[in-house]
Structure 1
Amino acid sequence: MARTWTESDIPSQCGRRVVITGANSGLGFETARALAVRGASVVLAVRDVGKGEHAAERIAAIAPAAEVGVVWLDLASLYSVHEAAAELHAKYDRIDLLVNNAGLMYPPRSTTRDGFEMQFGTNHLGHFALTGLVLELLLRAPNPRVVTVSSNAHRFGSEIRFHDLHWEQSYDRIRAYGQSKLANLMFTYELQRRLSSHGSTMLAVAAHPGASDTALIRNSPAMVRRLAPFVAPVVAQSAAMGALPTLRAATDPAVLGGQFYGPGGVGQVRGYPRIVSSNRRSQDTQVQHRLWRTSERLTGVSYPF
């Protein structure tokens, strides 16, 4: 049996500057905390600055020597994404690691400020735009990485619905979430292919947390929310355990671009992180390329490849 990988396996992060979206709670907070403890300078990119500052104080109490900053970022607004990217450019000379962690799951149908279906716009398009806008900062680092948090729910997104990306004809919040998580994976795979073709040492990696006990469930159907207090202790793992696949993807020296990390237990629901597989649909290179072109058009952000 392969040896388990835990937080104690994270190598020193001294000298690395890390930006994590949605880092004020849940998986993002646990990721930021673990990296700060290992010496990283951490930037919490969050929608609620007050909550971000509180999270920064909690991390500082755990890791007093850590440098922790907060940047306003609302992924449901391209204006905010541009503002956050501009602030990062103004404050920092490079980014060593970008963790695209923030996410929204199962809300009633709504749209972002730019008219995108909320889950696709927040989970995929917002991160696509942010990554492109700070790519120059990433490429200044000696060994940069982008880790994008997907989900096993990518299997529920049977396709990228180019004919109705924003679910205007009919809305299924579970399938819409699956589409956004499928898009996260396709973005990672296409980004890595483009980086490799241009000889870049930057790595694009994906991860998923399995079933983790976080606030992400707050928009789930009422029956799921009622059962959660009884089912979660049996099925779900802690946010700290759920963050381990992201942390391994972000720090393990053996990681290769285009890999996907998730829990190693049955069904990838819980357990210690290992390389896992994604569904066949996520590996369709033609759809990956079409999604990339569509994302550039919708966000107005083009990558210099």
Structure 2
Amino acid sequence: MRGRHIAVTGATAGIGRAASIELARRGARLTLFCRSPEKAAILERDIREHGGEVSIIIMDMADLASVREAAKTFLLRNETLDVLLNNAGIVNTSRKESAQGYEETLAVNHFAPFLLTGLLLPALRSGRAARIVNVSSGAHAFVKDMGYNDMQAQKKYSTFHEYGRSKLANILFTRHLAQLLADDHITVNCLHPGAVSTSLGTQNSGLMGKVLPLLLKPFFRTPEKGAETSLYLCSSEEVTEVSGEYFVNCKAVKPRRWARDEAAAARLWDYTEQILDFHYPL
């Protein structure tokens, strides 16, 4: 990975942190999009202490204006981008809204990476055989369709449904974008990292935010283990020509049938562009 420029979201904890440190160890140059300046400064120090090259751009994925500003900051550097690892994600135990008033799980897990990826496409196109890697989840099995009659979960909110819907969106987004970029020498793949002991969910208050992660921790794999498939898709020569696939344990597998529905992927794409008032520069 020496000399390769990689951007990572959600890099200050869990899988994102483990992946970022390992990518830096392998010689990659990193740009980390982080919400917390304090956590970002700690990670930057840790990477630099091991000789890694890293820069930080502050970005709040629950605020699409922040995403746009962060992308603008990156593009003003006129740098090429070889890999974009869309790693950041949240799970909420109660309904919350993003800065623009969208259901926060969908906003952070789907709208934000959709927008960021589109805005950074010029930098990815200037790279050599660039890659886009989206962290999804086996939780897409919880939801068989996007449910456009209540996309913002205003009628009914369920933690597993909203998280599963956002992860289904990640796969549908991956598949459709892979088709659109087929002639651009940019691959797009997604993955399930496994049940990983991370900070995911700890932003919730009360019992669910404090006790549940501790109870479940013994059953989880480590962030380093969970980052393996992300690292594989970012770096392996074996997937240089592979695009539009869903990976588990570094192997391409078929997601659920409804995650392979091309019509559903196209509909979600159109819906998202309309919601964001943003059209991909294709």
Normalising by structure 1, we get a TM-score of 0.88
Instruction: Kindly tell me the number of residue pairs found equivalent between the two proteins.
Output: 279
Deviation of the 1:223 alpha carbon: 6.6
- The match for 2:41 is 53
- The match for 2:265 is 288
Aligned pairs for 1:180-259 (under 5 A) are 180-196=166-182, 199-218=183-202, 219=204, 222=207, 226=211, 228-233=213-218, 235-255=219-239, 256-259=242-245
Contact 1:44/1:69 (8 A) holds in 2: yes
| Structure 2 residue 107 is the aligned partner of structure 1 residue 121 | yes
Q: Separation in 1 of the partners of 2:18 and 2:245? A: 22
Q: 1:105 aligns with which of 81, 91, 99?
A: 91
Q: 1:82 aligns with which of 64, 68, 73?
A: 68
| Structure 2 residue 253 is the aligned partner of structure 1 residue 276 | yes
Helix, strand or coil: the match of 1:216? coil
Counterpart of 1:184 in structure 2: which amino acid?
N
Change in Cα spacing, 1:112 to 1:181, as seen in structure 2 (3 Å) is same
Cα deviation digits, residues 57-80 of structure 1 (max 9, x gap)? 11122x21x211100111111110
Q: Separation in 2 of the partners of 1:88 and 1:206? A: 23
Counterpart of 1:253 in structure 2: which amino acid?
E
Over the aligned positions, Cα root-mean-square deviation in angstroms equals: 1.6
Deviation of the 1:231 alpha carbon: 4.1
Deviation of the 1:277 alpha carbon: 2.3
Instruction: Structure 1: give runs of 5+ residues left out of the alignment.
Output: 1-12, 264-272
Change in Cα spacing, 1:213 to 1:91, as seen in structure 2 (3 Å) is same
Cα deviation digits, residues 101-120 of structure 1 (max 9, x gap)? 00001331011111110000
| Structure 2 residue 135 is the aligned partner of structure 1 residue 149 | yes
Aligned pairs for 1:10-49 (under 5 A) are 13-49=1-37
Instruction: Structure 2: give runs of 5+ residues left out of the alignment.
Output: none
Deviation of the 1:43 alpha carbon: 1.0
Cα deviation digits, residues 176-202 of structure 1 (max 9, x gap)? 000000000110000001111xx1110
Q: Separation in 1 of the partners of 2:79 and 2:216? A: 46
Change in Cα spacing, 1:220 to 1:151, as seen in structure 2 (3 Å) is farther
Helix, strand or coil: the match of 2:56? strand
Contact 1:133/1:301 (8 A) holds in 2: no
| Structure 2 residue 118 is the aligned partner of structure 1 residue 132 | yes
Aligned pairs for 1:256-267 (under 5 A) are 256-263=242-249
Counterpart of 1:107 in structure 2: which amino acid?
T
Q: Separation in 2 of the partners of 1:167 and 1:245? A: 31
Contact 1:209/1:262 (8 A) holds in 2: yes
Q: Separation in 2 of the partners of 1:284 and 1:144? A: 25
Q: Separation in 2 of the partners of 1:82 and 1:184? A: 19
Q: Separation in 2 of the partners of 1:192 and 1:132? A: 13
Helix, strand or coil: the match of 1:254? helix
- The match for 2:276 is 299
Counterpart of 1:254 in structure 2: which amino acid?
E
Change in Cα spacing, 1:140 to 1:120, as seen in structure 2 (3 Å) is same
Identity, % of aligned pairs? 32
| Structure 2 residue 152 is the aligned partner of structure 1 residue 162 | no
Q: Separation in 2 of the partners of 1:86 and 1:231? A: 39
Counterpart of 1:147 in structure 2: which amino acid?
V
Counterpart of 2:233 in structure 1: which amino acid?
A
